[in-house]
Amino acid sequence: MTEELDLLDWRRQISALYAKVRAGDQRSGHVHWRSVRDVLFRSHPQSPLDAAGRTAFSGLRYFDYDPTLRLTARVQGRPGERVEVQTSTGEAMAMRRFGVVVLPVGTLEVFWIDVYGGGVFVPFRDATSGTTTYGGGRYLLDTIKGADLGSTAHGELVLDFNFAYHPSCHYHHRWSCPLAPRESHLSVPIRAGEMAYETPHQ
């Protein structure tokens, strides 16, 4: 199978995973999400880990599920402003900032990744970034990649921090990932979702 078809398969599996999460109970969905991610990280050729990392992989780490951090919010619109978001390799990625969500833990920017088809992107950093989680931040939504928790019947985005995950560049430097910009920093610690990955030699 070519690299492109491997990537297609990865994205299909991620999309199917999130579809199952949206269709069921969040707690059981979270358990399933963790289990499938471990399988993909360990065995899929498009795993963020390299071959040696996949061989040594023993599972991702997570905070305990916290139901109080499953939040919903309506996107408060603002004029679409084109911005350049820094990536892990120092390059800039063009996006359009089209709204904000106001949450009990703080306010986050909502971006539209303005390439073919487009997609909603919600990254964040918090007071755990650089200690128990990756310093570049984590992602709540990245709908181009299939990471989509859905919306309520009233049109609010589901923003469940228990499903927060790290970008691929956290696991290996070969990946280039957009990092959470200054406007997406939360001052409080978010002790939910994925914790920093520790390689076997750490």
DSSP 183: G
Q: Residue 199 above 80 pLDDT?
A: no
- Highest mean pLDDT: which of 92-96, 117-121, 160-164? 160-164
How would DSSP label each residue in 18-52?
A: HHHHHHS-HHHHHHHHHHHHHHHHHH-TT-SS-HH
Mean pLDDT (the chain) is: 92
For the stretch 33-55, pLDDT in tens is: 999 999 999 999 999 999 999 99
- Domain ranges in the chain are 3-184
Pull the structure tokens for residue 182.
Answer: 């200054």
Q: Residue 78 above 90 pLDDT?
A: no
CB neighbours of 3 closer than 8 A, spacing ≥ 6? 45, 46
Asked if residue 76 lies in contact with residue 101, where contact means CB atoms within 8 angstroms, the answer is yes
Residue 112 pLDDT: 93
Residue 1 pLDDT: 59
CB neighbours of 63 closer than 8 A, spacing ≥ 6? 162, 191, 192, 193, 195
In total, the chain counts a number of residues equal to 202
Residue 17 pLDDT: 97
Residue 202 pLDDT: 43
Q: Would you place residue 81 in the very low, low, confident or very high pLDDT band (cuts 50, 70, 90)?
A: confident
Integer Cα distance of 43 and 55 in angstroms: 9
Q: What is the mean pLDDT of residues 159-163?
A: 98
